[in-house]
A and B are shown apart, each in its own frame.
Chain A
Amino acid sequence: MAGSTPASLSADAPATPQVVVRPRKARSISPARETWRRFRRHTLAVTGAIVLLILVSGVLLGPYVWPVAINDIDFTAKLQGPSLAHPLGTDDLGQDLLARMMYGGKISLAVGFAAMLVALTVGVLVGSIAGMASGWVDAALMWLTDLFLALPTLPLLLLVMYLFRDSVKKVLGVEGGAFVLIVVVIGGLRWMPVARLVRAQFLSLREKEFVEAARALGASKVRQVVQHILPNALGPVIVVGTIDVAAAIIFESTLSFLGLGFPSDVPTWGSMLRDAKDYLDIAAHWALFPGGAIFLTVLAINFVGDGLRDAFDPRRVL
């Protein structure tokens, strides 16, 4: 809008509302700032982010506010609905559900983030190599990616857990073992969309002028990638990463629900649901709280992901 002048009313102009545009001061707005500004305008996404923040702080700080043990067995209080003593009720062993939910939340969120990191790392690596290499390296990597994409995730997850669970337990202990195994397997089956995305970004970005300029200035391939291409490719990758956290949480809870994730005495949201499902008629709250928590978390993450996608997409006018 170079050369725009402030509007002024002329004698014969119709009485329509005039747009007054003050000349903009030349302020450098970094892309990160711009993205944040666009994100802010997405009410649902911001709500999602707030909900997530509440959940995360509740899970991390909650035990200090509500210092009840997760495995205090108390048969006199079993299967009670929400009350002052037990704000979310109790399970069939009289254990406090609120405490168990907070513990489970920590695990679920930790699994989610860790799996996402694994998926992103592998995906970015594979995608960037394929994107920069081209030729048979690219073709081979893409064939591998497509192959993995055809693998059905849950059955494979189940298979691996089935075959490896016992031995990993021996090495890393029950919780640690299950954690590492679940994270590695989920991450190992979620890297493909990231790789494809990164490769597509690379293919389009590497021909762009600013990369050519860097090349002309003598930048090594690695430097080109890290300094120039990756920062620009990051936007969609972050969006996929967000979705990955949600997907990982769902996978972990599904595994636990089916009995192949964390065992029952480790209270993740999924394993709590597994125990609760036989008591639906008399203690619905036991199933509804963990299930609802999973749903809320995933929903919030998805809203945030949506907001991020719109914020990063240069085509949308927000």
Chain B
Amino acid sequence: MAHAKGREPVQPAADKLSAHVSAMDGHDQSHGSLARSNEVMPPRLVHVIGPVLRYGSIISSTLILVGLALTVLDGRLGGWQPFSGTTGAYPLLTASPDWILRLLATINPESMINLGILVLIATPITRVASTVAFFLIKRDLPYLAITLYVLLVLLAGFLIGATG
């Protein structure tokens, strides 16, 4: 009721709006051609972002759960020490990537958890990178500029974090 009432009086704006909308949820085909040319992007974008977030969440939580399971096997959960173990204080950008190997070589609860946290942190950054690739392929310049800028600011943050 609310939407029928709301759409009528603002026809020029609403027209463009529903055209934009129809491609997203697949109905309202009356605006067909405009809809297709104007807005085919969002559903496909979802197909890019969705898997990144889903697999990022699954991989990171699996690693963390394995770490917690190892803690239980060690019989250490009963005497859970919030401050036990090394933190994730590894040189992220400054050193060669062999710290990941070192992390894997010493399979203990803490290193598994740290690896899981690292995947967790990397997931939103991978998500931004995947949208940059998406808009590059789509040759959608405004959104390519927008997502690329965000990625560059994130990288700048990393460099400042690593040096300062």
The finding on whether chains A and B are genuine partners in a shared complex, rather than unrelated, reads no
Chain B residues proximal to chain A, CB less than 8 Å: none
